[in-house]
Amino acid sequence: MCGIVGYVGPRESVPILIEGLRKLEYRGYDSAGVAVHEKGETRVVRCQGKLANLEKQLTVTKLTGSVGIGHTRWATHGRPSETNAHPHRVGGVSVVHNGIIENHMILRQRLMATGRKFSSETDTEIVAHLVDAELKAGVKDLGDAVRNALKQVEGAYALVVLSDSHPDRLVCAKVASPMVLGVGEGENFVASDIPAILSHTRNMIFLEDGQVAELTAQRIAITDLAGRPMSPPVKSVVWNSTQAEKNGFKHFMLKEIHEQPRAVTDTLRGRIELEQHDALLDEVQLDPATIKKIIIVACGTSNHAGMVGKFMIEQLARIPVECDLASEFRYRDPIVGPGDLVIAVSQSGETADTLAAVKEAKAKGARILSIANVVDSSIPRASDGALYTHAGPEIGVASTKAFTTQLIALALIALHLGRKNGKLSKEAAKQFIDELLQLPIKMKEVADQAAPLQVLARRYGNARDFLFLGRGINHPIALEGALKLKEISYIHAEGYSAGEMKHGPIALIDEHMPVVVIAPKGPGYEKVMSNLTEVKAREGKIIAIATRGDQEIGSIADEVILIPECASVLSPLLTVVPLQLLSYYVADFKGTDVDQPRNLAKSVTVE
Ligand code: F6R
């Protein structure tokens, strides 16, 4: 998500920090900052916006010193602003952090009760307070202070701490967020990603979860959270800088497909209440008693997420949901007003059509909730409440991890509404939560099936058209599969409800037409099977996405890709992954520009 760089050695740190942050720019960010030790005191310079702003600021406030940390922030808690930018400084302690502190609300209240004051809206500032409190309480060693502080913290973090009291060192730690140490000669480095430090050293230590590292110019000492010494291996990195940016993947899209288990975990983080079997969505304050109906507005892939959301909300909370293409919404004089909840789904938060739909609904008196990945973007700002997905920046133009995290956000809304209006029993909610929490592992299992999908891409990659079929909650996934294939491989593809096939598209089917069928076990399975016999009778080539253990499908489909069993209402989170991979491998086989397909933009700010 955000970028971290740290340096300790004999050289001036600021140019090294800026150069490192620049190498991480491709990941996207909305503010930046550095902190440098200078004659017994740490000085911090931060600013909103691009690194160029920071550099300009650094020509006014000159920082010199050979121990420093730098950060580019992609906002998750708190708006993008200078006060929310990292490093956060409390007392003599400065901290940069990637990730999400799950128990930030409790810790903040606890710290405030001891008289501590906060100057930002971030969860990161809490860590700076905790470390400062340890040092003020008499802990002598900075490593001990950080370990003690982290014992109170739940969540995901990669962080680096700099303290006036220990001017020769950096202390770093990580849980569930990447962090790499660069081993130099008489100097050492730390970063959230390899490219940031690759020009200085190829010798790297990849910190493991729960490890804490203390870096001085001459040595690196690593312990676990209990202070026991650890010695992870030093590895030599052979990637060039472009490979390193993509974490070794050929394209950002492929990297982002594989990031989905992590992204989904981050979106769920801190939002499940295990005792009441509910979703914790304090940021949006939903009360089903005041909601007559829900209207979801969105475009493209986000619209497909909305269509899945309709099934989820109607099933779990029994509240009627309509889905509208944002580009159509305001032109049809929609029946919307007080008592309606409009949910705007947008990865970028900037899509002009979705923003216009939000304004239209607001003007007519509806309450607006947005689901977005970019904090403080235009759509959340125009809404009454925003639920942010924590997918991290998505660079590939074709949306993948933004989509699956939108599905998670919608699932949490459905769960919360169902619990609040009593339509979802404790037992059913418990089961739903269990299934939600298992998704990241299951998604990884599906994403790891690259080889068979590569074979399929080569086998069918020269087809002129593709048909995608699905029913019920997997109908939107058929639409999404077709959209993905179209946008990156330029093959014409149509998504259809399987039941609609006989009303038209069946005329297209012959031996040249690959038909991708989403057929997980669950409601509608038998119906899909009978649609398949119709395809088979016309010699269409069937590629089925089916549930592991399905004995029937192999007798009719030409190709079968298996997914693990899961609750039907969450199956889109698994069925979409092979479709993303299939599109990716077809596009790669055809040699198109996967990450920047022709005529498409990441953020569509024109109507
Ligand atoms: C497809 C894709 C687009 C977007 C659409 C809406 O892969 O990315 O269809 O989903 O342009 O964008 P957001 O979600 O930013 O509103």
Whether the CB-CB separation of 14 and 58 falls below 8 Å is answered with: yes
In this prediction, residues 209-225 reach a mean pLDDT of: 97
Residue 230 is predicted with a pLDDT of 96
In this prediction, residues 293-319 reach a mean pLDDT of: 98
CB of 405 closer than 6 angstroms to any ligand 1 atom: no
| Ligand 1 center to 301 CA (angstroms) | 5
Residue 580 pLDDT class (50, 70, 90 cuts): very high
The residue that leads in pLDDT, 27 or 569, is 569
State which H helix or E strand residue 441 sits in: helix 426-447
Residue 1 is predicted with a pLDDT of 61
CB of 122 closer than 6 angstroms to any ligand 1 atom: no
For atom 16 of ligand 1, the residue with the nearest CA is 346
CB of 580 closer than 6 angstroms to any ligand 1 atom: no
Residue 100 is predicted with a pLDDT of 87
Residue 330 is predicted with a pLDDT of 87
Which residue among 2, 172, 299, 566 is the active-site one?
Answer: 2
Residue 147 pLDDT class (50, 70, 90 cuts): very high
For atom 3 of ligand 1, the residue with the nearest CA is 300
Kindly report, residue by residue over 66-102, the tens digit of the pLDDT.
Answer: 999 999 998 887 888 999 999 999 999 999 999 889 8
Residue with tokens 């089917």: 509
Which residue among 50, 444, 536, 602 is the active-site one?
Answer: 602
Residue 602 pLDDT class (50, 70, 90 cuts): confident
Nearest C-alpha neighbor of 576 from the set 585, 563, 565: 563
CB of 120 closer than 6 angstroms to any ligand 1 atom: no
Active site residue 323: no
pLDDT of 151 > 80? The answer is: yes
Return the exposure string of 556-581: e unless at least 16 CB atoms fall within 10 Å of the residue's CB, then b.
Answer: bbbbbbbbbbbebbbbbbbbbbbbbb
CB of 377 closer than 6 angstroms to any ligand 1 atom: no
Residue 600 pLDDT class (50, 70, 90 cuts): confident
Residue 282 is predicted with a pLDDT of 86
- Main-chain phi, psi angles of 19, to 5 degrees: -60, -45
Alpha helix stretches (DSSP H) within 251-299:
252-258, 260-268
User: Taking all residues of the chain, what is their mean pLDDT, rounded to a whole number?
Assistant: 94
| Cα separation, 326 vs 297, whole angstroms | 5
Whether the CB-CB separation of 150 and 211 falls below 8 Å is answered with: no
Domains present along the chain, CATH in parentheses:
3-242 (3.60.20.10), 245-447 (3.40.50.10490), 449-595 (3.40.50.10490)
Pocket-testing residue among 346, 347, 605, ligand 1, by greatest number of atoms within 8 A of Cβ: 347
In this prediction, residues 576-592 reach a mean pLDDT of: 97
| Cα separation, 469 vs 149, whole angstroms | 52
CB of 604 closer than 6 angstroms to any ligand 1 atom: yes
Q: Tell me the residue type at 569.
A: V
Kindly report, residue by residue over 459-512, the tens digit of the pLDDT.
Answer: 999 999 999 999 999 999 999 999 999 999 999 999 999 999 889 888 899 999
pLDDT of 28 > 90? The answer is: no
CB of 234 closer than 6 angstroms to any ligand 1 atom: no
Residue 374 pLDDT class (50, 70, 90 cuts): confident
pLDDT of 371 > 70? The answer is: yes
CB of 303 closer than 6 angstroms to any ligand 1 atom: no
Nearest C-alpha neighbor of 542 from the set 509, 589, 583, 576: 509
For atom 8 of ligand 1, the residue with the nearest CA is 399
Contacts for 342 with CB less than 8 Å, ≥ 6 apart: 294, 295, 296, 297, 336, 357, 358, 361, 362, 366, 367, 368, 369
Residue 421 is predicted with a pLDDT of 96
Length of the chain: 607
For atom 5 of ligand 1, the residue with the nearest CA is 300
CB of 354 closer than 6 angstroms to any ligand 1 atom: yes
Is this model's pTM higher than 0.85 or not? yes
Alpha helix stretches (DSSP H) within 461-566:
475-489, 525-537
In this prediction, residues 207-225 reach a mean pLDDT of: 97
CB of 300 closer than 6 angstroms to any ligand 1 atom: yes
For atom 10 of ligand 1, the residue with the nearest CA is 301
| Ligand 1 center to 389 CA (angstroms) | 14
**Closest ligand 1 atom to Cα of 402:** 14
Kindly report, residue by residue over 384-418, the tens digit of the pLDDT.
Answer: 999 999 998 899 999 999 999 999 999 999 999 99
In this prediction, residues 417-430 reach a mean pLDDT of: 97
| Ligand 1 center to 49 CA (angstroms) | 23
Residue 308 is predicted with a pLDDT of 98
Percent of the chain with pLDDT over 70: 100
3-state secondary structure of 589: helix
Active site residue 362: no
3-state secondary structure of 9: coil
pLDDT of 324 > 70? The answer is: yes
| Cα separation, 549 vs 142, whole angstroms | 54
Percent of the chain with pLDDT over 90: 85
| Ligand 1 center to 411 CA (angstroms) | 19
3-state secondary structure of 71: strand
| Ligand 1 center to 357 CA (angstroms) | 15
In this prediction, residues 213-239 reach a mean pLDDT of: 95
Kindly report, residue by residue over 29-65, the tens digit of the pLDDT.
Answer: 889 999 999 888 899 999 999 999 999 999 999 999 9
| Ligand 1 center to 402 CA (angstroms) | 9
> 10 Å Cβ neighbour count for 257?
25
Burial of 160 (0-12, 13-18, 19+ CB in 10 A): buried
